[in-house]
Amino acid sequence: MGGVRIEIGAFAAHGLSPAAARRCADSFVAELTRLLTEQPVAQADALGAPLSFSVPPLTLPPGVATAAGIGAAAARQLHGAWAR
């Protein structure tokens, strides 16, 4: 069984320090991995053609104030967009 390869063209964390941006990105990867493991999304093409789309700018839910929280929220938004 083959794996899934996800390539994010750009992940910009403007306004965060370099260390906070790393925590944000690490949290994003961890949460997206968890979501895709627990709730896989249908492949766009049974032949494995790349799926490409844009996601609107992130809207943070109330109470998200940490770099890790921002990364996790971004992963949930991306996963939600794929699941539609």
pTM for this model (two decimals): 0.78
Q: Is 54 helix (H, G, I), strand (E, B) or coil?
A: coil
Cβ atoms of 27 and 71 closer than 8 Å: yes
Instruction: Name the residue type at position 14.
Output: H
What is the residue-level pLDDT of the chain in tens, covering all 84 positions? 456 677 777 778 888 999 999 999 999 999 999 998 898 876 644 556 666 667 778 778 788 889 999 999 999 988 888 777
